[in-house]
């Protein structure tokens, strides 16, 4: 094998991926293999369990001389060179059936009769019972440097999954577009397209389903380009030989795609493409009989107004994309100068949050929960605060949303839970009490695969009696995956930890689901308590929630109680606990102990 061949003959399909797709249904597996076949830079043949050819890719046609129609239904032996003995093939197939793959050098014959050496890998794919479903053969010629150059080119410049240009070729194209725009006094647009909440599909249906959807998404995006968006490469430009209509679109990786928009006269041209993209997602995508309704967020920047370099233009488009997502997604946004300032502040804040996590700058404050009948403190809620250098305290509403977006909420949430457990253990031991501490759980935390393990580890590590702990979760985070949420909640309660539904009445859970949720407490949102005396509607809602709690055997806590006259009304409605400034504002642990534990 030549040095060049060795250089470009790695495994193009990772072993981990091959193992992952084993055991799929026949139909699902064939779709995945077919997608791999047509996006693969090498020649590929797929055969059924009886070794009849069911699919080949264009590279196979180019290398062997056989068309797809000529190959389908035939056996791979149609290209047999007769240079190998019967024993050679028997050993090869024994190895395939024993180890699910074989790799090595073999001689084959092209349609024109010429014999050539090739490097061949065959993989066997089976169902859960171990019965063969398909074989996939991937090969390349050992003496065709042009073939190797094509492979290198495709690996360097094209996305292996969708076949679209990748980031590298995108930069070549955009640089070329800058030159054309400068020469003729034109504008160019950059449009970033991101699939909203695509990670939920990967989490819920697996990465194979996600990959199949990405392939379908790429196909649906291609017709969205305008005729003027087609790039005509200059002589010598990278990827010139392979330019096709989709070259105006690139896949950046993950669920993000980019469009290069040529010859823009005004922003309307970019808006036309953005509208087409939004419209392309109005119809659902279908996979294995399941319909997926997807939304997209789009960010647009324009050359040369928004940036003179690729990185500047990209940054501006990313800022606009972030704005689209922040506004709820499913919309497109043009970059504006004000976004630069906002993004700079966001980046600064994100850096400060990471520093705060690393240096443990956050502190916990505690607000008492009071038994409405006895007036005695029966628990407390842990509330995070962030001390600033100027001596002020930053409220969680100012930084928690960003920690959710960046994922920093996971380590922060873990720290909050551990510190709250330590504090409640110390209080109950020092004062001989039986207080509970409530800790808010974020949606991102709750959906983490390691969430339950994290909770168990912290309870064990802090030697916290699980009955000292209550976790507060919201309606909306439970409704995203009802069955999964119920299972997680059951396991939490099996540990001995109680569960409270926070801000009840502001979400969208139905009573049918509410009966299924293994809850202990409903927490009435403060907005209803504040409006209870002035609005008969709010008062009716509070009364209804108390009635629901009573009928389901749940405790009901009202938060945001600030006035004495609210207490009798809440008690009459059936509320069991109250929390708010009437009894105390959130305090650091030392002050909480002094005010609410030393005196009782």
Question: For 110-119, 173-182, 195-204, 309-318, which range has the lowest pLDDT when averaged over its residues?
Answer: 195-204
Q: Rounded mean pLDDT of 467-479? A: 87
pLDDT digits (tens, 9 = 90+) for 405-444: 788 999 999 999 999 999 999 999 998 888 999 999 998 8
Question: What is the three-state SS of 528-546?
Answer: HHHCCCCCHHHHHHHHHHH
Weakest mean pLDDT among 95-109, 117-131, 146-160: 146-160
What's residue 507's pLDDT?
A: 54
Look at residue 1 in the predicted model and tell me its pLDDT: 31
Each domain of the chain, given as residue ranges in start order, spans: 3-144, 158-335, 353-597
Per-residue pLDDT at 491 exceeds 70: yes
E strand intervals along 513-576: 521-524, 555-559
Calculate mean pLDDT across residues 514-531: 86
Specify the pLDDT at position 11.
39
Q: Is 220 or 127 the better-scoring residue by pLDDT?
A: 220
- Out of 97-101, 152-156, 500-504, pick the least confident: 152-156
Q: Is domain 3-144 annotated with CATH 3.30.450.20?
A: yes
User: What does the pLDDT average to over 195-222?
Assistant: 84
pLDDT of residue 12: 43
pLDDT above 60 (res 228): no
Q: Does domain 158-335 have CATH number 1.10.3720.10?
A: no
CB-CB neighbours of 437 under 10 Å:
25
Asked if 477 and 446 touch (Cβ cutoff 8 Å), the reply is yes
Pairing of strands 332-334, 363-371: unpaired
10 has a pLDDT exceeding 60: no
Contacts of 199 (CB under 8 A, 6+ apart): 255
Under a CB-based contact definition with an 8 Å cutoff, are residues 474 and 499 in contact? Answer: no
Q: Rg of the chain's alpha carbons, rounded to an integer?
A: 31
Residues whose CB falls within 8 Å of the CB of residue 171, separated by 6 or more in sequence, listed in order: 310
Q: Which fold has domain 353-597?
A: TIM Barrel (3.20.20)
pLDDT-based confidence at residue 126 (cuts at 50, 70, 90): confident
| End-to-end C-alpha distance for the chain, whole angstroms | 84
What is the percent of the chain with per-residue pLDDT over 90, rounded to a whole number? 41
| Cα–Cα distance for residue pair 559/571, rounded to 1 Å | 13
Give Cβ neighbours of residue 58 (< 8 Å, ≥ 6 apart): 38
Most confident of 131-145, 288-302, 484-498: 484-498
pLDDT in the model for residue 473: 92
Residues 6+ apart with CB under 8 A from 377: 368, 369, 370, 371, 435, 583, 596, 597, 600
Determine if residue 463 is left, alpha or beta; phi over 0 gives left, psi from -120 to 50 gives alpha, anything else beta.
Answer: left
Task: Please state the φ and ψ torsions of residue 289, each to the nearest 5 degrees.
Answer: 80, -5
Assess contact for 584 and 377: CB atoms under 8 A.
no
Distance, CA of 383 to CA of 381 (rounded, Å): 6
Spatial separation of the C-alpha atoms in residues 392 and 191, rounded to whole Å? 41
Question: What's residue 171's pLDDT?
Answer: 87
Q: Across all residues in the chain, what is the average pLDDT?
A: 84
- Classify the phi-psi angles of 535: left when phi > 0, otherwise alpha if psi is within -120 to 50, otherwise beta: beta
């Amino acid at each position: 094998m030549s040095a060049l061949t060795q250089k470009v003959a790695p495994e193009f399909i990772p072993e981990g991926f091959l193992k992952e797709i084993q055991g799929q249904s026949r139909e699902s597996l064939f779709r995945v293999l077919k997608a791999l076949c047509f996006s693969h830079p090498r020649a590929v043949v797929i055969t059924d369990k009886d070794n009849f050819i069911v699919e080949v890719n264009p590279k196979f046609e180019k290398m062997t001389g056989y068309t797809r129609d000529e190959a389908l239904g035939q056996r791979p032996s149609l290209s047999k060179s007769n240079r190998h003995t019967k024993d050679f093939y028997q050993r090869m197939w024994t190895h395939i059936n024993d180890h699910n793959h074989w790799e090595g050098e073999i001689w084959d014959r092209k349609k024109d009769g010429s014999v050539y050496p090739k490097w061949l890998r065959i993989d066997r794919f089976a169902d859960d019972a171990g019965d063969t479903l398909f074989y996939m053969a991937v090969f390349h010629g050992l003496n065709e440097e042009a073939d190797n150059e094509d492979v290198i080119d495709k690996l360097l410049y094209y996305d292996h999954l969708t076949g679209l240009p990748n980031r590298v070729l995108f930069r070549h194209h955009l640089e070329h577009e800058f030159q054309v725009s400068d020469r003729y006094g034109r504008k160019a647009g950059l449009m970033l397209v991101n699939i909203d909440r695509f990670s939920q599909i990967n989490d819920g249906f697996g990465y194979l389903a996600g990959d199949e959807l990405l392939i379908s998404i790429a196909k649906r995006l291609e017709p969205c380009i305008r005729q003027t968006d087609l790039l005509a490469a200059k002589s010598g430009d990278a990827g010139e030989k392979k330019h096709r209509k989709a070259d105006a679109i690139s896949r950046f990786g993950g669920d993000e795609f980019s469009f290069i928009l040529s010859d823009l006269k005004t922003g309307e041209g970019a808006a036309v493409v953005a509208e087409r993209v939004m419209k392309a997602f109005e119809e659902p995508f279908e996979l294995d009989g399941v319909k997926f309704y997807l939304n997209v967020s789009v960010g647009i920047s324009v050359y040369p107004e928004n940036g003179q370099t690729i990185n500047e233009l990209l940054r501006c488009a990313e800022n606009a994309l972030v704005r689209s997502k922040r506004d709820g997604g499913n919309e497109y946004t043009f970059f504006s100068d004000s976004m630069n300032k906002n993004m700079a502040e966001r980046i600064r804040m994100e850096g400060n949050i990471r520093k705060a996590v690393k240096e443990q700058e956050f502190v916990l404050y505690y607000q008492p929960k009071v038994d409405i009948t006895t007036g005695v403190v029966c628990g407390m809620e842990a509330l995070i605060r962030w001390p600033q250098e100027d001596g002020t305290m930053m409220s969680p509403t100012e930084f928690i949303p960003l920690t959710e977006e960046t994922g920093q909420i996971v380590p922060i949430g873990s720290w909050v839970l551990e510190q709250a457990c330590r504090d409640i253990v110390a209080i109950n031991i020092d004062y001989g009490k039986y207080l509970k501490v409530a800790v808010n759980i974020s949606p991102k935390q709750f959906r983490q695969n390691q969430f339950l393990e994290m909770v168990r580890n912290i309870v064990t590590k802090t030697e916290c009696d699980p009955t000292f702990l209550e976790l507060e979760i919201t309606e909306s985070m439970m409704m995203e995956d009802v069955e999964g949420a119920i299972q997680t909640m059951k396991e939490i309660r099996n540990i001995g930890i109680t569960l409270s539904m926070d801000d009840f009445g502001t979400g969208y859970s139905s009573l049918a689901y509410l009966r299924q949720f293994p809850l202990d407490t409903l927490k009435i949102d403060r907005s209803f308590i504040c409006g209870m005396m002035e609005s008969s509607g709010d008062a009716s809602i509070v009364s209804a929630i108390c009635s629901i709690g009573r009928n389901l055997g749940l405790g009901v806590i009202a938060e945001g109680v600030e006035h004495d006259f609210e207490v009798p009304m809440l008690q009459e409605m059936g509320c069991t606990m109250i929390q708010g400034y009437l009894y105390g504002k959130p305090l650091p642990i030392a002050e909480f102990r002094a005010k609410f534990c030393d005196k009782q």
